């Protein structure tokens, strides 16, 4: 694994290394609490988010909120984590009507799959993760936390 010490991180990882990647992401200095996840269908967004949620101290089962749009988790320390799957959102008004901006500005963790569905509603100050599947079965991840 290559490591970049900065606000940005590029790594290559296998599924067996996902716990290390989650720890590395969460140890990023001044990591923003709103994080968007960009990748194709099946690239591992939900799998990585499940690992991040676990690493943040959520002991219950976490899953993709595909049909409910948002799942709420509480960590052992009482911290709230929101996991959004916006794949089924038809337009930004639908997300706005559900109060999505209130979640984003709650100072709680917000992990957002399919953020390209709501480009005008995302806070300007957020981190982003791009996951790209590689031919060898591994994934390349790029974290931007500018």
- Say if residue 65's pLDDT is above 60: no
Contact partners, residue 142, CB within 8 Å, separation at least 6: 8, 9, 10, 129, 130, 132
The 10s digit of each residue's pLDDT in 25-53 is 999 999 999 999 999 998 999 999 999 99
Q: What is the pLDDT of residue 5?
A: 40
- Work out the pLDDT band at 2, boundaries 50, 70, 90: very low
85 CB neighbour count, 10 Å cutoff: 24
- Say if residue 61's pLDDT is above 70: no
Instruction: Enumerate the domain spans of the chain.
Output: 31-130
- Work out the pLDDT band at 8, boundaries 50, 70, 90: confident
Of 38-52, 58-72, 97-111, 112-126, the least confident: 58-72
CATH topology of domain 31-130: Rossmann fold (3.40.50)
* Range 3-28 average pLDDT: 84
Q: What is the pLDDT of residue 3?
A: 41
Q: In what order do the strands lie in the sheet with 70-74?
A: 8-13, 139-144, 127-133, 34-38, 109-113, 80-85, 70-74
**Selection from 49, 45, 38, 32 nearest residue 124 by Cα:** 32
DSSP secondary-structure letter at 137?
S
Q: How far apart are the C-alpha atoms of 142 and 4, rounded to whole Å?
A: 10
């Amino acid at each position: 694994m290559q490591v970049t010490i900065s606000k940005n991180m590029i790594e290559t990882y296998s599924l067996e290394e996902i716990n290390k990647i989650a720890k590395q992401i969460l140890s990023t200095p001044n990591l923003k609490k709103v994080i968007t996840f960009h990748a194709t269908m099946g690239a591992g967004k939900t799998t990585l988010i499940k690992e991040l949620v676990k690493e943040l101290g959520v002991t219950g089962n976490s899953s993709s909120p595909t049909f409910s749009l948002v799942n709420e988790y509480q960590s052992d320390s009482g911290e709230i984590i929101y996991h959004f799957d916006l794949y089924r959102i038809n337009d930004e008004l639908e997300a706005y009507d559900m109060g999505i901006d209130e979640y984003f500005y709650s100072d709680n963790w917000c992990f957002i799959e399919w953020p390209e569905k709501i480009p005008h509603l995302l806070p300007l100050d957020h981190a982003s993760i791009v996951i790209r599947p590689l031919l060898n079965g591994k994934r390349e991840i790029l974290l931007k936390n500018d």
